[in-house]
Structure 1
């Protein structure tokens, strides 16, 4: 699966790094997104989600909730992209926004970590 990780990080203590490392280890095509990095774990980094080439299967969001809202507004233009909101990236405002604009997204998952729930939510999709 091609998974864009918004909030990817070079800091090994942050979940933005742990998630990229985990998904790469599972064989996924990982596209880190971070406006302040160039390379993360050997992968080229995209400054914004619209810079990621080709079809994205899942956009995984691992940023603070206020940034999540901005990202979701950008993602609406991708029409039907699957969105995974990591624990800690959601808020009541984020959930309300998703409910209001749910038709603009594909599948929406939150309150679950992609590292532990990807196979359950997308069976047989691991590379």
Structure 2
């Protein structure tokens, strides 16, 4: 049986045709991405970025930590920036201060991911949406990849 919060989340995320379409798009990409670079992931296991990375790793995604102050996070080699990553990245999940978003989005576009995801707390950046869309990339803002995965993918898979 689904929890009350799951029902609330599903109703809220599909409350209007626009939200329903956005949620369907997010569900599609969460099903079809494999490698996620997490920019700003912390070594501190109590920080949200670390917790989200650990959850996504356990959910089966290949996690690539991007943190210039770390050699390794979650048992994976950490990189100082996106351009240093030697493999193709499907999604860039961003946990940084809002004032650095434009710079990181520009870096992300250089590595050509399918999705650029601004986590909750990073803010909304309408000026970046057009830049990203002009490059054929989806940009998700002000949503948590972990939360969306929990309620759109994990719970769906449990009912199958």
TM-score normalised to structure 2 length:
0.68
CA distance in structure 1 between the aligned counterparts of 2:73 and 2:101, rounded to whole angstroms: 21
Larger radius of gyration between Structure 1 and Structure 2? 2
Q: Is the 8 A contact 1:64 1:89 kept in 2?
A: yes
Could you tell me which of 50, 66, 73 is aligned with 1:33?
66
SS for the counterpart of 2:134 is helix
Could you tell me which of 88, 94, 111 is aligned with 2:121?
88
CA distance in structure 1 between the aligned counterparts of 2:52 and 2:149, rounded to whole angstroms: 11
**Which residue is equivalent to 1:72?**
105
CA drift at 1:45:
0.2
CA drift at 1:41:
1.6
Q: Which one has the bigger helix percentage?
A: 2
CA distance in structure 1 between the aligned counterparts of 2:88 and 2:131, rounded to whole angstroms: 24
Deviations 1:66-110 (A, max 9, x none): 12221012122234541011011124xx22222244212511111
Aligned length: 121
**Which residue is equivalent to 1:44?**
77
Question: How do 1:1-127 residues align onto structure 2 when only pairs under 5 Å count?
Answer: 1-79=34-112, 81-91=114-124, 94-118=125-149, 120=152
Q: Is the 8 A contact 1:82 1:105 kept in 2?
A: no
Task: Quickly say closer, same or farther: Cα 1:105–1:32, change in 2 above 3 A.
Answer: farther
SS for the counterpart of 1:104 is coil
- RMSD across aligned positions (CA): 2.1
Deviations 1:4-41 (A, max 9, x none): 00011111221121111111111110000011111112
